[in-house]
């Protein structure tokens, strides 16, 4: 059957994708004349307003053996998710419903999504245009072996930077993450020129506030830099030095929970403040939900060391967001340029919206990113549809859907599936959010990308995974695919984000094996040079920063797309299969140069034909 409606084709729907509030949308159905449809209507449901409505589509003539029905509607003046489908009637009175899954009975109709967002609040474009580098602070760079005396928690410091990390439960059966390597803010400052040479424009830090674990996601004191990392003065100096080099700084805000040994909960009494676990008279007591005080309480995913916080309590909101010296405000004033919200899907929408409002007041050009692992435009969390991307909350999200689709493709999947997954995101996300996504191949929460691409089989035994190193053949294959994956990462709309050490060839399975120390002096220099070249291309070519996206080829292992801005075009061709592939794409100049190899190709009648080796790629300019 011929296509009746395609939401991504301007012949059927304009404008494309998500639209601002109050925008008129025109839709056209194009059924085959032989279908004998005589009447059509558009069925719409506004989710947040819980409103159903119907728009009749008018006959609009015939074209190429098809009968056209067209109509328009105006989107609401408030942000909304609209779900829509169509009802079609034949001459004999038979009715059918058209959804994403085709024609059928009404009960089977899968509706299309129309995102309607508030476009009045601007999204800073600096984040999406540039490259982000994620740092796990304890493991990036140290300037000296620290002395843990007087620091929170019973910390153990590795004397050698190259030692293996602790990963087995202690004598109480707990994995406490109390072994430290001593990475510091001064160490990061020492390597700012290296980061600049990679093309980095944003430094994203995993938590840097005082906590008794090496990951620091169990915040002890939001007002203090962890003493092993340095001081507030060290942080201010690092920000100043980063800004002088054109780099911005993003902090990790962990506001859904605190540590049980924090100054706010204070289960072990380490802080002088009267914590919620010590007294119901504590000013922090209302922040937590106790089932039976003090030993039973709500905790993040049931982890007792991470008591969950009531983000709607006025004193917590004032402390984190609204107060004159709130946590959000004070660290922006100290030099931060952005916040990343940990587990954003567990934070109330109003809480996130208030953070954005305060950030705009304090530093209008600051950026707010959310950790969401799925399509954030229609995410349901705790039985509620979320509003992250409707223009009043986050500017952008971590693009885990990109990672999933890219990994599937790189590990033998179909280019068609990658294109479809990314078109779904592009269609559902407001354009500013799509171009401000944090695109990634790996983070502190995922195995190392090189290991995923090169290791033959996952290992069941944790100790075996701790000591596993790829064979020469596995590593060679992994490196080839990683180089191709990096090309995809840096060429796609959104901020290409590199997890520290991925550019140096680090290996490792899941946490904590993905959190090893950066191999200073043992880097894969050829891989670093590849990433640096991609970073330079990203910074030099406007088309890679803000250019429109055009799919040129997606078939089996071969993927090609271009980015265009004005007269500048950059095209990428990837072949992740074993065999060489030939590809022909349109090209509007007489010559194309592959930046990666230096090869030059001539066009013939507006077409460019190239042969791409297996597990290789090209960037054509």
Q: DSSP secondary-structure letter at 321? A: I
- 3-state class (DSSP) for residue 534: helix
Helix intervals (H) in 245-333: 314-317, 327-333
How far, rounded to the nearest angstrom, does the alpha carbon of residue 437 sit from its chain's CA centroid?
5
CA proximity to 438, closest of 408, 491, 402? 402
Give the number of other CB atoms < 10 A from CB of residue 583: 19
Bridge partners, residue 116, by sequence = 19, 80
Name the residue with tokens 């180089």: 483
Q: How far is the C-alpha of 225 from the C-alpha of 186, rounded, in Å?
A: 12
Which residues lie closer than 8 Å to 129 by C-beta, 6 or more apart? 201, 495, 545, 546
371: annotated active-site residue: yes
| Catalytic residue (one of 179, 337, 371, 594) | 371
Q: How far is the C-alpha of 388 from the C-alpha of 386, rounded, in Å?
A: 6
Run of H or E including 602: strand 600-602
Which tokens in the block code for residue 223? 């007002």
Give the number of other CB atoms < 10 A from CB of residue 619: 22
State the DSSP string of 437-457: -EEES--TTS--HHHHHH-SS
Which residues lie closer than 8 Å to 91 by C-beta, 6 or more apart? 36, 38
CA proximity to 388, closest of 437, 331, 320, 317? 437
Which residues lie closer than 8 Å to 316 by C-beta, 6 or more apart? 286, 287, 309, 310
Bridge partners, residue 117, by sequence = 20
Q: How far is the C-alpha of 597 from the C-alpha of 613, rounded, in Å?
A: 12
CA proximity to 436, closest of 198, 202, 137, 195? 202
147: annotated active-site residue: no
- 3-state class (DSSP) for residue 294: coil
Rounded to 5°, angle at Cα 99 from 94 and 101: 110
Dihedral (Cα; 458, 462, 464, 466), 10-degree rounding: 100
**Could you give phi then psi for residue 481, rounded to 5 degrees?**
-70, -35
Q: How far is the C-alpha of 621 from the C-alpha of 606, rounded, in Å?
A: 15
State the DSSP string of 10-73: TTTEES-S-EETT-EEEEEE--BGGG-EEEEEEEEEETTTTEEEEEEEEEEEEETTEEEEEEEE
| Catalytic residue (one of 342, 427, 502, 524) | 342
**Could you give phi then psi for residue 529, rounded to 5 degrees?**
-60, -35
Helix intervals (H) in 245-383: 314-317, 327-333, 349-362
| Inter-CA distances, 424 with 13, 46, 408, Å | 15, 20, 16
Which tokens in the block code for residue 435? 């171009």
How far, rounded to the nearest angstrom, does the alpha carbon of residue 7 sit from its chain's CA centroid?
25
Let me know: does 210 contact 227? Beta carbons within 8 Å. Answer: yes
Catalytic residues, which ones? 342, 371
């Amino acid at each position: 059957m011929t296509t009746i409606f395609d939401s991504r084709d301007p012949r059927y729907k304009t404008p494309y994708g998500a639209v601002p509030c109050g925008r008129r949308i025109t839709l056209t159905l194009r059924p085959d004349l032989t279908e004998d449809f005589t009447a059509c209507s558009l069925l719409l449901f506004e989710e947040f307003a819980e409103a159903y409505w119907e728009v009749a589509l008018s006959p609009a003539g015939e074209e190429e053996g098809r009968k056209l029905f067209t109509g328009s509607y105006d989107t609401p003046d408030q942000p909304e998710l609209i779900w829509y489908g169509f009802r079609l009637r034949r001459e004999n009175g038979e009715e059918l419903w058209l959804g994403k899954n085709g024609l059928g009975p009404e009960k089977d109709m899968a509706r299309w999504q129309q995102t309607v967002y508030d476009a009045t609040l601007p999204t800073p474009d600096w984040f999406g245009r540039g490259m982000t580098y994620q740092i796990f602070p304890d493991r990036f760079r140290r300037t000296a072996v620290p002395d843990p005396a007087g620091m929170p928690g019973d910390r153990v410091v590795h004397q050698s930077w190259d030692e293996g990390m602790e990963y087995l439960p202690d004598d109480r059966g707990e994995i406490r993450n109390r072994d430290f390597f001593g990475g510091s803010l001064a160490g990061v400052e020492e390597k700012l020129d290296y980061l600049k040479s990679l093309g980095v424009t944003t430094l994203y830090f995993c938590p840097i506030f005082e906590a008794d674990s090496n990951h620091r996601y169990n915040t002890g004191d939001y007002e203090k830099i962890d003493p092993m990392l340095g001081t507030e003065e060290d942080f201010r100096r690092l920000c100043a030095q980063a800004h002088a080099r054109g780099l911005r700084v993003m902090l990790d805000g962990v506001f859904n929970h605190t540590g049980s040994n924090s100054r706010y909960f204070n289960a072990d009494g380490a802080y002088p403040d009267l914590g919620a676990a010590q007294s119901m008279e504590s000013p922090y007591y209302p922040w937590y939900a106790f089932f039976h005080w003090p030993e039973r309480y709500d905790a993040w995913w049931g982890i007792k060391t991470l008591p969950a916080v009531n983000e709607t309590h006025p004193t917590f909101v004032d402390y984190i967001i609204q107060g004159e010296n709130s946590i959000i405000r004070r660290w922006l004033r100290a030099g931060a340029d952005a916040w990343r919200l940990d587990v954003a899907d567990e934070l109330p929408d109003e809480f996130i919206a208030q953070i954005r409002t305060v950030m705009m007041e304090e530093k209008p050009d600051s950026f707010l990113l959310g950790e969401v692992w799925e399509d954030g435009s229609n995410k349901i969390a705790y039985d509620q549809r979320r509003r992250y991307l409707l223009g009043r909350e986050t500017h952008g999200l971590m693009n885990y859907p990109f990672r999933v689709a890219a990994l599937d493709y790189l590990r033998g999947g179909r280019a068609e599936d990658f294109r479809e997954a990314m078109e779904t995101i592009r269609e559902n996300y407001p354009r500013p959010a799509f171009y401000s996504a944090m695109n990634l191949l790996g983070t502190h929460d995922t195995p190392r990308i090189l290991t995923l691409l090169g290791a033959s089989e996952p290992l069941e035994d944790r100790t075996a995974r701790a000591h596993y190193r790829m064979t020469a053949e596995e590593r060679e294959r992994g490196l080839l695919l990683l180089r191709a994956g990096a090309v995809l990462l840096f060429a796609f709309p959104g901020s290409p984000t590199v997890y520290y050490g991925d550019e140096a060839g680090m290996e490792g399975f899941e946490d904590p094996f993905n959190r090893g120390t950066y191999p200073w002096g043992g880097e894969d220099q050829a891989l670093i040079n590849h990433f640096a070249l991609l970073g330079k291309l990203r910074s030099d070519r406007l088309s890679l920063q803000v250019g429109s996206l055009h799919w040129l080829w997606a078939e089996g292992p071969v993927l090609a797309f271009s980015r265009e801005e004005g007269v500048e075009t950059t095209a990428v061709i990837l072949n992740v299969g074993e065999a060489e592939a030939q590809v022909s794409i349109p090209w509007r100049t007489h010559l194309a140069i592959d930046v990666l190899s230096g090869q030059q190709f001539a066009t013939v009648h507006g077409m460019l034909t190239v042969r791409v080796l297996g597990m290789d790629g090209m960037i054509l300019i």
